[in-house]
Every structure is written in structure tokens, then in C-alpha cells.
Structure 1
Amino acid sequence: MTRADFAFPFGIAPGAGQARRTNYEDHVDQMIRQILLTDPRERVCLPDYGAGLRRLLFSPLSVGLEATTQLLVSQSLTRWLGDQIVVRKVSVLSAEDGAPGAGLPDGAVVVQIDYELIETRTVRRVQAVVS
């Protein structure tokens, strides 16, 4: 049986009049993106929620930025989704590094996360573009 969850962003399915649904794997991908792109203190009731990757956007691309981003992403995902996923690898890529996806704006960074879904034991990859 395939597990389904609410889709993000929340919306009503055309014709059904009910909340849009998505499969479990896609729902976890959506939760990861929410964590990555939400700044701490952005959510009033959860002030510590989020990785705040946009704060790093204007930092110079360097080995230090890459290491900081990897640590920030790993810690945030483990804290907020530790019962759903196991983070295997976090990669930080820029257009200069040959990041996936042609046509990235200058200064854009792609954060690529390889993770394992605990429930299904499947390994997946999600990417978030921070620009």
C-alpha cells in the first residue's frame, strides 16, 4: 500500500475539492526543501526551525562556505527529520563547479542531499537552488 501525505505548498485538488496529496517520498523531499529554505525565527511558533541557507547567499564561495553549509544542512535535517531520514552526503555546488542545471544565475549555489528514507530503506537525492 502506498502511503500518501499532504502536498506542499498546500492547495486544493481541482475537481476533488480536497487537499492535494502526494506520495510519501515526494512529501519528504518537500519537507527537506522547507527546512533548507526557511530562516530561523521565520516561524513564530517554531523559532529554531529551518537551516537558513539564504543567509549564506552573499558569502564568498570558498571551502569554508562549503563546510559551513554542509554542517548546517546536516544538523538541521537531523534535528527536524531525524525520525524520517538518515543524511548520507551533502554537496555544495556552484555554477563554476559545473552544478547540475544549466542557466544558474551568478552566485547561485546548489545544495544536493543524498539521504535514506528510514521507513522504506530507499536512497534518494534532492537538490535545492539557493539564489
Structure 2
Amino acid sequence: MRTDIAFPFRVSARGRTAGATYGEHTRDLIEQLLFTSPGERPMRPDFGCGLLDLVFAPTGPELLAALELSVRASLQRWLGDLIEVRSLDLSAAGVTVRVRLGYTVRRTGSEREEIFEGRA
């Protein structure tokens, strides 16, 4: 069984680098992509979705629809070889952005439904 490094990086109870299964690692990659703002990574300035910017924008159906399209495009571009997006729902309340994502892990064929929350 393959083990990857857990995100966020932490030390396990045994004093070693915490690991993650393939499914957990895939979820961690999605979370990194969703909550990284474009321009935040020096060597990959176009990586990310800019979701946390939604907190400071007036939310309306037009903005959410445009942002959903942007998130889908980012997921396809950066993680399309790992997952297939089945459903995506975005919402913002106060300083919290919530993403409900249904996806299939291509390697295992497992279908997952996850909720990701970020605070600005």
C-alpha cells in the first residue's frame, strides 16, 4: 500500500512524518488547489482557484456560476488525471467558503463526496 505525506504537514504520534492513504492524499491535493490563490506560489503563479476571494465579493448567482466554472476548470487542469468531477456546489456565508464536491478517484474507481471549508 502506497503512503504519501499528509497535508498539512505534521508529525505523527510516533514522531515521524504523518502519512496519508491514496484517497486521503487525493483529498489533500483538492484542498490545496481550492484554497490556494493564484499568484501565491512563486514557481506556479497560475495554480489555485481564488475561492477565498469570494468572501470579500458580493455573492450573487452570477458570481457563483462564474466561480464554479473557474473551479471546475482548475480541477480539470491540475487534477484531471487523478479525479473526475461529478458534482460541484459553492456557497459563502460570512467569512466561510464551503465547497461540496462529488468526484471519482480514477485510479481506484471509488466515488467520494467531500465538503471543504475555508475561512478568510
With normalisation by structure 1, the TM-score equals: 0.82
Find the counterpart in structure 1 of residue 48 from structure 2.
50
Give the 4+ runs in structure 1 shifted more than 2 A: 11-15, 106-109
Identity %: 37
Find the counterpart in structure 1 of residue 84 from structure 2.
86
Query: What do residues 48-82 of structure 1 show as CA deviations (whole Å, max 9, x unaligned)?
Result: 11111111211222111220121111111111111
Find the counterpart in structure 2 of residue 14 from structure 1.
13
Amino acid at match of 2:20: T
Amino acid at match of 1:6: I
Amino acid at match of 2:4: D
Find the counterpart in structure 2 of residue 130 from structure 1.
118
Q: Distance in 2 between matches of 1:73 and 1:127?
A: 14
Q: Distance in 1 between matches of 2:66 and 2:16?
A: 41
Find the counterpart in structure 2 of residue 5 from structure 1.
4
Q: Once the 2 structures are TM-superposed, how far is the Cα of residue 18 of structure 1 from its aligned partner?
A: 3.0
Find the counterpart in structure 2 of residue 112 from structure 1.
100
Aligned residue pairs: how many? 119
Q: Once the 2 structures are TM-superposed, how far is the Cα of residue 88 of structure 1 from its aligned partner?
A: 1.1
Amino acid at match of 1:12: V
Find the counterpart in structure 2 of residue 66 from structure 1.
64
User: Is the CA contact (8 Å cut-off) linking 1:89 and 1:114 kept in structure 2?
Assistant: yes
Query: What do residues 29-52 of structure 1 show as CA deviations (whole Å, max 9, x unaligned)?
Result: 111010010011101111111111
User: Is the CA contact (8 Å cut-off) linking 1:57 and 1:130 kept in structure 2?
Assistant: no
Partner-residue secondary structure (3-state), 1:13 = coil
Find the counterpart in structure 2 of residue 35 from structure 1.
33
Q: Once the 2 structures are TM-superposed, how far is the Cα of residue 107 of structure 1 from its aligned partner?
A: 5.0
Q: Distance in 2 between matches of 1:43 and 1:94?
A: 24
With normalisation by structure 2, the TM-score equals: 0.88
Moved more, 48-57 or 35-44: 48-57
Cα RMSD, aligned residues only: 1.6
Find the counterpart in structure 2 of residue 76 from structure 1.
74
Q: Distance in 1 between matches of 2:6 and 2:108?
A: 19
| Unpaired stretches in structure 2, ≥5 consecutive residues | none
